[in-house]
Structure formats: C-alpha cells, structure tokens
Structure 1
Amino acid sequence: MPQFLILADDYKDPDALSRRMSVRKDHLMRMRIEKAAGRFIVGGAKLNEQGNMHGSMLVVQLENEDAVKNWINEDPYIQGKVWEHVEILPFRIAEV
C-alpha cells in the first residue's frame, strides 16, 4: 500500500498552542487506533527553538492521496483548528 509523508504547520495566533493542547489527547487516541489498524506508521510534533510544538510530521499508509486527505480531515487537529497548512508527499520507507 502507498505511503505518504504529512507535514502540518499549526496556526500562528496566540491561542494556537492552547487549542493544540485542548485536543491533543483525542489526536493521540486516534493515532493509537490508526496504528493498530496499520494506517499510521510514525509521527510526532515539530518543535520550535523554545521546544514548543508548532506542527506535526506523520507517515501514513493509505490507498491514495484522496484517502489521505479524507483521513486528515477526520483528525482532531483539523477539526480543532490546530493545523493551518498540511502538505502531503508520496513517501517510501527505506528497507534496510
């Protein structure tokens, strides 16, 4: 199944981090479910110079880019207005 790299940037307004924190538990719960289903491979928060979260990186495995877009739109970080900009790139995990 195709893999995709998702790079997401948070909104930059003063309340962005508090919105992230308010839905973070729901986002992480969803990632646990998606990992068990084999759709979420790995991911984490992008950090700024102060060590604060300001975006995300995820590797997912889904049928196609449209499926990835739909998958992203169901995420609490989209629904909670955390992610402002999302980039989807075809990706392949190296087999070493």
Structure 2
Amino acid sequence: MFYAIIAHDKPGALEVRKANRDAHLAYIAETGVVAQAGPLLDAQGDMAGSLVILDVADMDAAQAWADADPYTKAGLFSSADIHPWKRVIGG
C-alpha cells in the first residue's frame, strides 16, 4: 500500500536540510520502499519540506521508515504527517 509523508521544515532550517541531504538520499536508496519523492519548495524556490510516497505494508511500516529518516533524526521537520495514498494517475 502507498503512504504519503508530507513534511514541513522548521523555519530557517535550510542548512540542516543541506547537511543531511546525502544521508537522506542514501537512506532512500538503501530501503528500497520509496515510490516517489521530492522536496517541497517555498515561494523563492528553496527546499522547505518533503513529499515522500512509500510502498510499504501498513502505517506502522510507514511510521518506522519516517522515524529512521536522517532528516527526522536531524530535527529538520516542524511537522510530518503520514496519510494512506491511492495512486490514480501515473505508473
């Protein structure tokens, strides 16, 4: 099942994001459960959050993935919500 993680960075945390980006991308590659992902952008076009679509068994697995994300461990996010998600368009 798909789960969408919608996370917003803490204000002024762009340097935290940049410092942990390589570890975050490595985590995505290592875990093999990310169907789609990319940064949310602010009005200036700077990275300000994350949208991650996971393909995992259940909400517990989605929460465990989110908790182990290097961005989460670095304290980047002011909020992060996980929602079941149904793909309608795209493959």
- TM-score w.r.t. length of structure 1: 0.86
Q: Deviations over 1:29-51 (max 9, x none)?
A: 111223xx3x1100100001111
Aligned to 2:64: 70
Query: SS of the residue aligned with 2:44?
Result: coil
Aligned to 1:21: 18
How far apart are 1:84 and its partner, in Å? 2.0
Quote the Cα distance in structure 1 between the aligned partners of 2:77 and 2:89. Answer: 30
Where in structure 2 are there 5+ consecutive unaligned residues? none
Quote the Cα distance in structure 2 between the aligned partners of 1:95 and 1:7. Answer: 19
Quote the Cα distance in structure 2 between the aligned partners of 1:3 and 1:9. Answer: 20
Quote the Cα distance in structure 2 between the aligned partners of 1:95 and 1:22. Answer: 34
User: Size of the alignment, in residue pairs?
Assistant: 90
Quote the Cα distance in structure 2 between the aligned partners of 1:25 and 1:95. Answer: 30
Quote the Cα distance in structure 2 between the aligned partners of 1:95 and 1:48. Answer: 25
Quote the Cα distance in structure 2 between the aligned partners of 1:63 and 1:83. Answer: 24
Q: Percent identity?
A: 27
Aligned to 2:86: 92
Following TM superposition, where does structure 1 have runs of at least 4 consecutive aligned residues deviating by more than 2 angstroms? none
Quote the Cα distance in structure 1 between the aligned partners of 2:89 and 2:42. Answer: 30
Query: SS of the residue aligned with 1:81?
Result: coil
Query: SS of the residue aligned with 1:63?
Result: coil
How far apart are 1:95 and its partner, in Å? 6.1
Quote the Cα distance in structure 2 between the aligned partners of 1:95 and 1:54. Answer: 25
- TM-score w.r.t. length of structure 2: 0.91
